[in-house]
Amino acid sequence: MNNLTVMDHPLIQHKLSIMRNKDTGVKQFRETVGEVAMLMTYEATRDLPVIDVEVETPVAKTVCKELAGKKLAIVPILRAGLGMVDGVLQIVPSAKVGHIGLYRDPETLEPVEYYCKMPSDIEDREVIIVDPMLATGGSSSAAIGFMKGYTKRSIKLMCIIAAPEGIARIQRDHPDVHIFCAAVDEKLNDHGYIIPGLGDAGDRIFGTK
């Protein structure tokens, strides 16, 4: 499928099974979300531009690579996206973090914005939006739409579990945005939950149920 990378690395798949298990507690669930996000970041940042820099090793001068220019902004969709931020920052510690607060109206399943705060230099940063769940795609599509008003650079979407309906929505609304996920599940149920999924990601990360 266009602009879709499914990261089926064995380490990610193993951790995903832990997350799906209803008996996994809050502490382990939260830690595992962070670990999966860290592993996914490795692939999602593969195309970051680099420049040559001269470095002196203890024995000789050499030309190496470093990341070019203004780098990344990580933008979690509150709340559940917050669970992925530390994992991303573990391997891209210079990334800045913007926040978008959205919740799904339980009746209409439409996203409602309640918070937005971006780094001051966001327009020059490549953006990775993070949210563990891509269900109907309404929240992510709205977040991508907001971010297109903030940055001139590319936008990627990194989620952990995606439903086919959500992928189709993003590909329709934002064909320029690359989606990275760890699994494409079967379908949505009548309440907009991903089947088999992992339940409510926000509740499982923060222990609110």
The 36-75 contact track toward ligand PRP, x by CB under 6 A, reads: ----------------------------------------
Instruction: Compare residues 48 and 112 and give the one whose CB is closer to ligand PRP.
Output: 112
37 CB-near residues (< 8 Å, 6+ apart): 83, 84, 85, 86, 87, 88, 130, 158, 160
* Residue 108 known to be catalytic: yes
The residue from 36, 44, 75, 77 that contacts ligand PRP (CB under 6 A) is 77
The residue from 135, 142, 143, 155 that contacts ligand URA (CB under 6 A) is 135
Q: Would you give the DSSP letter of residue 1?
A: -
- By CB under 6 A, how many residues form the interface with ligand URA? 10
The residue from 36, 80, 129, 179 that contacts ligand PRP (CB under 6 A) is 80
Q: Does 160 bind ligand URA (CB under 6 A)?
A: no
Instruction: Compare residues 44 and 157 and give the one whose CB is closer to ligand PRP.
Output: 157
Q: Does 200 bind ligand URA (CB under 6 A)?
A: yes
Q: Does 73 bind ligand URA (CB under 6 A)?
A: no
Tell me if 156 sits within 8 A of 44, measured CB to CB: yes
With CA atoms as reference, report the closest residue to 141 among 100, 108, 182, 106: 100
In DSSP terms, 101 is beta-bridged to: 78, 115
The residue from 32, 45, 139, 151 that contacts ligand PRP (CB under 6 A) is 139
The residue from 20, 104, 148, 153 that contacts ligand PRP (CB under 6 A) is 104
Beta strands in the chain (DSSP E): 4-6, 50-56, 61-67, 72-78, 96-97, 99-104, 111-117, 126-130, 133-134, 155-158, 161-162, 178-181, 183-184, 187-188, 194-195
Chain residues that interact with ligand PRP, rule: CB under 6 A: 77, 79-80, 103-104, 109, 111, 131-140, 166, 192, 200-202
